[in-house]
Amino acid sequence: MSEVLWNTAASFTAQSTSITTFDSFAVSVVVKIAFALGLFFVVPIVGGYLEHKVMGRMQARRGPVEAGPFGTLQLVADGIKFIQKEDVIPRAADRWVFAAAPGVALVPGMLIFLVLPFGPGVFALDLELGLFYALAISSVSVLGILMGGWASANKFSLIGGLRAGGQLIAYELPLILAAITVAVQAGTLSLVGIVEAQATFMLPGTEINVWYVFPQILGFGIFFLAAMAELSRPPFDMPIADSELVFGYMTEYTGIKFAMFLLTEYGGMILMSALMVVLYLGGWQLLPGVPLPGCEGTGGLFDCGVTGTLLGVGITLGKIMALVFLMVWARVAYPRLREDQLQRFAWLVLVPLALLNLALVGVAKVVF
């Protein structure tokens, strides 16, 4: 946290590249918080709408159609409904832990939005340790889930919470190993720096610019699968497993707290997709080696004018939604794994592959 404050303070004096940084510290902080919060509440709703629609059509349904034009406001309507619902706390529950759990799960998601670059200069902070920060903060979410599972005083919740703990630990490892590999190749932990490194990365011996997804296709696959498991999304939804555990750690939650858990899931989907876009898909670049219109100036990636900036944000969001679509597609197509299959898959397949990937990239980095 002191890192954030320190950086925020630093950006007050230093000439920052972020468009959310102003000369007045107070204004700057307010704008950054509003930026992160706005993204956190709007983008997941768009992602959720996409999921509703795509899942509906893949199942020969229509998905939401009534709320707003083409059902676009369905998730807003759902949110209003959740707010109106009675907030039930089981008598045997550990009241304070029970009440705090959704917040503990939700807030880390908001905090990651601080470091994610969405376009040329469109980010709140450019932390030196951006990738480290993002991965560390996202792991806090599991604490909220464990708290919720434990505090509910319900066997289904407890089993769900413990499953979530086991699953998140198992998949954290390949996720981090894949991310480290990117950091090794880029030579930086800053998310903005990684995007920049991809813009200048040439295939060895040629002048062809490529994103990291090409040399690290294996790492991308590992990261994608591990991210889906981290988010407990089908086919990796054992912590929720509605046919076995009612609703896992969310069983006893109602109303706004339940909505917070749901928002954590959708927000997590956006976050993981955004991380993948930044790490592997070249951030806000349209095509490898093709500068955005307006970005041809001396500032390169970061000085694009108004149109270039807006276009960059649009491209980032488009890539995020494409990845969300992939996640939904996998969700519709595949049934849930069994708990033992899940653990086996993580420890016997993903971790060795991630280590192999790291070794290969490390060797290649030294050789070329």
Partner 1 sequence: MATTSPPGVGLMKGLAVTIKHLFRYPATQMYPKERPDLPPRTRGVIALMDENCTVCMLCSRECPDWCIYIDSHKETVPPAKEGGRARTRNVLDRFAIDFSLCMYCGICVEVCPFDALWWSPEFEYAEYEIDGLLHEMGKLREWMDTVPPPPPLDAGAVPPAEAADAIAKKEKELEAEAAKQQETEAKEQEAAAPADGGDGKPKKAEVKVEGAGEIDQETYDQLIAEGKSERIARSKAKAAWVRKEKERLAAEQEAGGGDDAPAEKPKAADVHVEAGEIDQETYDQLIAEGKSERMARAKAKAAYVRKQKAKLAEEAAAGGGDDGDGGAASSEAAGDEAPEDAEAAEPKQGKLADVHVEGAGEIDQETFDQLIAEGKSERIARSKAKAAWVRKQKQAQLEEGGGS
Going 279 to 141 to 146 to 90, the CA torsion angle's sign is negative
Please report how close the Cβ of residue 324 comes to partner 1 at its closest, in angstroms. Answer: 14
Rounded least distance, CB 206 to partner 1, Å: 31
Among 333, 349, 359, 363, binds partner 1 (CB under 8 A): 333
Binding positions for partner 1, 304-323, rule CB under 8 A: none
Q: What is the DSSP letter of 297?
A: S
Give the shortest CB-184-to-partner 1 separation in angstroms: 29
Binding string, 55-84, against partner 1, x = CB under 8 A?
-xxxxxxx--x-------------------
Among 291, 300, 303, 287, residue whose Cα is nearest residue 121? 303
Cα-Cα end-to-end distance for the chain? 38
DSSP string, 22-85: -SSHHHHHHHHHHHHHHHHHHHHHHHHHHHHHHHHHHTTS----SSSGGGTTHHHHHHHHHHHS
Residue 18 Cβ vs partner 1, minimum distance, rounded to whole Å: 38
341 binds partner 1 (CB under 8 A): no
**Interface with partner 1 by CB under 8 A: which range of 38-46, 224-232, 327-335, 355-363?**
327-335
Q: Are 342 and 335 in contact (CB under 8 A)?
A: no
> In the complex with partner 1, which residue's Cβ is closer, 100 or 332?
332
Q: What are the E-state strand segments in 250-340?
A: none
Q: Which is nearer to partner 1, 338 or 365 (CB)?
A: 338
Q: Is 329 in the site for partner 1 (CB under 8 A)?
A: yes
Q: Which is nearer to partner 1, 68 or 255 (CB)?
A: 68
Among 210, 332, 356, 358, binds partner 1 (CB under 8 A): 332
Nearest to 321 by CA among 274, 262, 265: 274
Q: Which is nearer to partner 1, 62 or 81 (CB)?
A: 62
Say how far apart CA 158 and CA 94 lie, in whole Å: 13
CA-CA-CA-CA dihedral for 220, 281, 273, 35, to nearest 10: 150
Q: How far is the CB of 54 from partner 1 (least distance, A)?
A: 7
Closest CA to 361 of 155, 153, 147, 218: 218
Q: How far is the CB of 211 from partner 1 (least distance, A)?
A: 23
The residue (of 208 and 349) whose beta carbon lies closer to partner 1 is 349
Q: Which is nearer to partner 1, 96 or 334 (CB)?
A: 334
- Nearest distance, CB of residue 163 and partner 1, angstroms: 23
Q: What residues numbered 1-60 form the site for partner 1, per CB under 8 A? A: 54, 56-60
Alpha carbon 22 to its chain's center: 27
Please give the Cα distance from 44 to 263 (Å, whole number): 7
- Give the count of residues interacting with partner 1 (CB under 8 A): 14
Q: Looking at 95-103, 149-157, 210-218, 330-338, which segment touches partner 1 (CB under 8 A)?
A: 330-338
- CB 331 to partner 1: min, Å: 9
> For residue 124, which of 138, 140, 110 has the smallest C-alpha distance?
110
Q: Counting contacts by CB under 8 A, is residue 217 touching partner 1?
A: no
Rounded CA-CA distance 248/227 in Å is: 19
Residue 16 near residue 125 (C-beta atoms within 8 A): no
Q: Whole-number minimum distance, CB 57 to partner 1, in Å?
A: 5
Q: Which residues bind partner 1 (CB under 8 A)?
A: 54, 56-62, 65, 329-330, 332-334
